[in-house]
Amino acid sequence: MVIIKDNKCDFCGCCVGVCPENCIELYEAKIEIIDEICTDCGKCVWACPFDVLELRVTKSKKGEIA
């Protein structure tokens, strides 16, 4: 799953633009990742300019190691 690190997000939307599952909700000053839809692909984590997101790899949703 993708973890949002505290207080670092600038709400820029770069992560939303690359998310293939369309599962990031970006408000004026809040972001949420809808965990049930997220596939742990990691794209949002790499796109983020501020190193806000972190992929915690347990087992990916599709049963493979991401």
Partner 1 sequence: MGFGKSFPEFDYYDIVVVGAGPSGTTAARFAALSGAKVLVLEKDRDVGYPVRCGEAVSHEGLVQFIEPNPKWIASTVKYFKLVAPDGTVIKPNLNGFGYILERRIFDYELAKLAANCGAEIVTKAYVNGLILNDGKVEGVKVLLNNSEQIEIRAKIVIGADGVESRVGRWAGLNTTCKLQDMESAAQMTLTNIDIEPDTCYFYFGEKVAPGGYLWIFPKGENTANVGLGIAGIYGRQRHALSYLEEFVEKRFPSASILTVIAGGVPCAKTADKIVTYGLMLVGDAARQVNPVSGGGIISGMIGGKIAGQIAGEAIKKNDLNLIFDYENEWRKTLGQRHERYYKIKQFIYKFSDEKLNEIARELSKIPYENLTLKNLFFTAVKTQPSLIIEVMKLFI
Q: Are 23 and 16 in contact (CB under 8 A)?
A: no
Q: Is 66 in the site for partner 1 (CB under 8 A)?
A: no
Q: Is 60 in the site for ligand SF4 (CB under 6 A)?
A: no
Given ligand SF4, partner 1, none, residue 2, with its beta carbon under 5 to 8 Å by kind, binds ligand SF4
Q: Is 10 or 35 the residue whose CB approaches partner 1 more closely?
A: 10
Of 26, 34, 24, 31, give the one whose Cα is nearest residue 61: 34
- Find how far residue 8's CA is from the centre of its chain: 13
- Looking at 32-40, 45-53, 56-64, which segment touches partner 1 (CB under 8 A)? 45-53
